[in-house]
Structure 1
């Protein structure tokens, strides 16, 4: 007993040390990409009193995603309470969770197959595999997966030990962390039928259905499009599913060319070849062999394929790319178990050498990847490098420099982004407004005309072209675009009012995030479509005040009061502004 406990402590200690060595450098990193919207600028995380609201709130970035992961936001709120907006604390939590997942993977493997060497090798390979790097580094995109993995493995461990109540509790926590955990009862079935050779008793699964019903009920209230089952499609790009499954497998086998953004293209012939591979993997699950090692391969194969189901385009993912490393985090456990089983077939000396060599190669790849996640600049630059034919990396770089006031780099990367075929028309319009700020009317009009070809129903495009030609003194051409807008868009005035409100809300969000350049840009767009829209005028006054431009702040606020003398917000802001001006004048 003492020897077993000592081996357990040494094994868990080795896993911890390896993860700290590989990912310790991430503790110096900033918030990156969606971290800013989901964590830094999320007012719901300001107080722990908002925790009940998370269970009736959709997982959103800027728009609705269809995801419902309340426990993830609970964890972020706890981090905010402990650490404020210091990214160090959030990174520590992710690191601790990765350690716990690896330890639980070790414990589950040991409980399933009673082989200490296999469990340790599998856990070590999983702990430092480069494919897990995105999940550990990406707070907004990885925390939900880490939490779900912890509770999923803990639930499975309790199920193996015959502890139903703890297993159900952990299962509940898992599904409220990420919907992947809904697949866990399928693992229970495999365990009972293939590993335990027991007759399946469906009545034993009834306790697990209770939290599922609760989850789906709460989700139906929280999510705008609550029924995610209607997203499952049997046409369209479903033929890509085998390709995506094999693509993830290849990334696990050779994880030295991973990307932060994948721009994938393939052919029907490649997909057919991949389908054959998937069929072979599926058939392997149903073959009956009596030796123990084959049970390991069955379980790893089944786990790998099962947890790929949500991410291989059967259910469309609201993302810029069909592939992301973090999507395959669960399936990576199945691959690591299979690789460990192969390595452990060798003698001890060969096994140790193989594990050291593989983990050394993995660690070098991890160090390289970790540097990419240092800050937005390094991350977006890598995104553009990984997917050079996609607009998103260049656009994100442009907006990063726009926030910094670096207009040269902003225009450079905007120009590249706008040349990409996948850029949406609305983004072309946004880019045009930035070029207009720099008096680059020729570039702005070219983008607007390009947008108009793709989306002739956007009234802002016509109004921006009208403004450009008015500034150039071409009144006839300017008026023609207004006429075209009235002809192309029924109920134009109503549509303009709606757009002004949407722009104003977005501008206020940017003000709350202290992104004043973005706020000013979007609020000016609100006034373009509705020149006397008072909420936008007041918000622009606030922007100028925050930027220290008191003269223009006063002009905007006075204009708002002229248009709406009873506007309390404008009166209050103007009073504060004049008080501030008096303090400034009185300063020696």
Structure 2
């Protein structure tokens, strides 16, 4: 940042990044993890608290461990509450800063302002990155990438100072610290040490002899140590989410990996038909995978051959191939074959190849420096304008859950997951029949999917079609019994409660409370279940617990009165019923119970509190 041009370009990049994402400020949270991670996560909803910090660093919530990301969500709640615009603002600003620092890194290491600017602009405005920026729950991606790029900047500063014989330990320490910050934002940074070796080759051009090469390797050992540590941690916490080879055989994963490498580049070149969820397709032939593998090998051989006159090609290409490894789905987390967010960091390598390739191409074919720069900038402006327009439109598809999943259905085929998510959106609007249609369409594609079966079952149960619902019950159990999601345990417990299976109902209400101790509905239901089984003392403790969280909840006050009445504590029960009527004067069961207590007062016998009189 030592000259006006650098400052202006950095500021322009940040401004452009914010401009193309302006539509995001009209967007709501979406049902695809935003509620699980932010809007309905009681730890996050409490804001920045000591208990929240301890939880962030000690709990592997939803089979993930990224404490710094949780802290950023908590800080957003502290600043903006649950206003989606505030959360989106933070993600956009982080993305804008990342684009500016990417330019600074490239310019600092290459001295080439225009190609550095174009690579950073492509990162800032490319529609493939919309999913990472516009999706509140994907904060982990933008935050970890910010630390990735700033760590690279610090490392470049270290190399520059070390090469000049100046003190450099502070820069090296900063690079390592930023790398660790990135890892605890999202473990995507496990490939970062390998990228450092790539940039040692170009643009830092450190490999001038065996001794320098050996030192470069030794310097990376602390980085490799933390990479190994976080690979171990990630595999431990995500073991429940890793798909088995029985579900997705290795041959399908490898075939998908080859085709995905080419598909991402295709989406980079022609960013249409981008979707929040992409479906797996049946493997009918290995020819697409073989063709993709051959193409990848040919490009790899070509960039190696051209490494001396065009070193940016080999670095950009191996940046892309290498950083994609953690998310290419050989180790399958979830059941999506690919996702736009996975390309957020890897595409930087392709952007480098394109930017410096365009610079050299226009230099070769055009005479005169002025004409060369004019043509390069004209093409750059055109590409930027086109991608910016696509990004503006793509950001609008994240307006709400309905728009997002309907768009996914419009641009993909056989997308059972999108049918499910769109159906859930319709459920929340009480459009039950339409939601069932979506669940049935999804089940036609994937009949054994536990979540689709669960949603079909719960919707039919709500509509009172119990006999029809039973056919989906057994296939839904693997999802809601192993998913560690409190709302699923709650729904399962309510189902058992309706069937008078109070033991199982209490078990799953308690499981739900373990994950969300502040769910008043669960606390209330659990108290009722305990009363049904005669455990009135325990029931009373749960009603008191709920009222401590939210005093004046009349349903809880009434149920507390029933528990006290069943325990023979007439005066306290009467006080609870009077409090209920003070809050809800027209609630006749409270009047009836109060009259009953007053009638029997002094007669030495108090009838038990029936919870069926609600």
TM normalised by structure 2 equals: 0.73
User: Partner of 1:445 in structure 2?
Assistant: 467
Aligned with 2:414 (options 369, 381, 389):
389
Distance of aligned partners of 1:135 and 1:252 in 2 relative to their CA distance in 1, 3 Å threshold: same
Query: CA 1:197–1:227 in structure 2 vs 1: closer, same or farther (change >3 Å)?
Result: farther
- SS of structure 2 residue aligned to 1:585: coil
Q: Number of matched residues? A: 527
Q: In structure 1, what is the equivalent of residue 15 of structure 2? A: 17
C-alpha distance in 1 between matches for 2:378 and 2:264 = 26
Residue 297 of structure 1: which of 310, 313, 318 is its match? 313
Structure 1 Cα separation of the partners of residues 414 and 535 of structure 2: 41
Q: Paired residue for 1:248? A: 264
The Cα shift of 1:145 comes to 1.3
Q: 2-side partners of 1:304 and 1:424: how far apart?
A: 33
* 1:140 and 2:137 correspond: yes
Tell me whether 1:6 sits opposite 2:4 in the alignment: yes
| Cα deviation digits, residues 380-410 of structure 1 (max 9, x gap) | 3223334452333333333333334344444
Is 1:48 matched with 2:49? yes
Partner residue of 1:258 out of 274, 277, 280: 274
- Counterpart for residue 161 of structure 2: none
- Contact kept, 8 Å, 1:130 with 1:255, in 2: the verdict is yes
Q: Answer whether contact 1:48 1:78 (CA < 8 A) is retained.
A: no
| CA distance in 1: counterparts of 2:575 and 2:350, whole angstroms | 65
Residue 21 and residue 513 in structure 1: after superposition, are their counterparts in 2 closer, same or farther (change >3 A)?
A: farther
The runs of 5 or more residues in structure 2 that have no matched partner are 159-170, 363-371, 482-494, 588-614
**Partners of 1:172 and 1:212 within 8 A in 2:** no
Equivalent residue for 1:89, pick from 79, 86, 91: 86
Change (3 A) 1:283 1:56: farther
- 2:151 is matched with which residue: 143, 147, 155? 155
Partner of 2:112: 115
* Maintained 8 Å contact 1:152/1:171: yes
Name the CA shift for 1:573/1:332 in 2 (closer, same or farther; >3 Å). Answer: farther
Change (3 A) 1:149 1:511: closer
**Once the 2 structures are TM-superposed, how far is the Cα of residue 352 of structure 1 from its aligned partner?**
2.0
User: Which ranges in structure 1 are unaligned for 5 or more consecutive residues?
Assistant: 460-467, 472-477, 479-492
Give the aligned partner of residue 125 of structure 2: 128
CA distance in 1, matches of 2:535, 2:460: 25
C-alpha spacing 1:189/1:554, structure 2 compared with 1 (3 Å) = closer
Structure 1 CA distance for aligned equivalents of residues 391 and 449 of structure 2: 34
Q: 2-side partners of 1:223 and 1:533: how far apart?
A: 39
Counterparts of 1:124-273 in structure 2 under 5 Å?
Answer: 124-141=121-138, 143-162=139-158, 163-193=171-201, 195-198=205-208, 199-201=213-215, 202-209=217-224, 211-212=226-227, 215=230, 223=237, 225=239, 237-265=253-281, 267-273=285-291
* Alignment match of 1:276 (pick from 294, 306, 317): 294
Question: Counterpart in 1 of 2:390?
Answer: 365
> What CA distance in whole angstroms lies between the structure 2 residues aligned with 1:226 and 1:263?
21
Question: Within 5 Å, which residues of 2 pair with 1:182-581?
Answer: 182-193=190-201, 195-198=205-208, 199-201=213-215, 202-209=217-224, 211-212=226-227, 215=230, 223=237, 225=239, 237-265=253-281, 267-287=285-305, 289-291=307-309, 294-318=310-334, 320-344=335-359, 345-346=361-362, 347-387=372-412, 389-422=414-447, 424-425=449-450, 427-439=452-464, 441=465, 444-449=466-471, 497=503, 501-502=507-508, 505-506=511-512, 565=567, 579-581=579-581
1:357-379 CA distance string (max 9 Å, x none) = 21221122112211111122222
- Specify the SS of the correspondent of 2:336: coil
* Paired residues of 2:451 and 2:479 also in contact (CA < 8 A): no
Residue 560 of structure 2 contacts residue 576 of structure 2 at CA under 8 Å; is this kept in 1? Answer: no
| Residue 29 to residue 236, structure 1, CA distance change in 2 (3 Å) | closer
**CA deviation after TM superposition for structure 1 residue 129, in Å:** 0.6
| 1:213-270 Cα deviation digits (max 9, x unpaired) | 76568768x8374999999996552232111111111111111221122124253100
Change (3 A) 1:29 1:452: closer
Distance 1:454 1:432, change over 3 A: closer
Larger Rg: 2
Give 2:585's aligned residue.
Answer: 585
- Rounded Cα–Cα distance in structure 2 between residues aligned with 1:390 and 1:234: 22
Inter-partner Cα distance in structure 2 for 1:170 and 1:157:
10
| TM-superposed deviation, 1:15 | 0.9
Describe the shift of the 1:83–1:161 C-alpha distance in structure 2 as closer, same or farther (beyond 3 A): same
Alignment partner of 1:363: what SS?
helix
For normalisation by structure 1, the TM-score amounts to 0.76
* Displacement after TM superposition at 1:575 (Å): 6.7
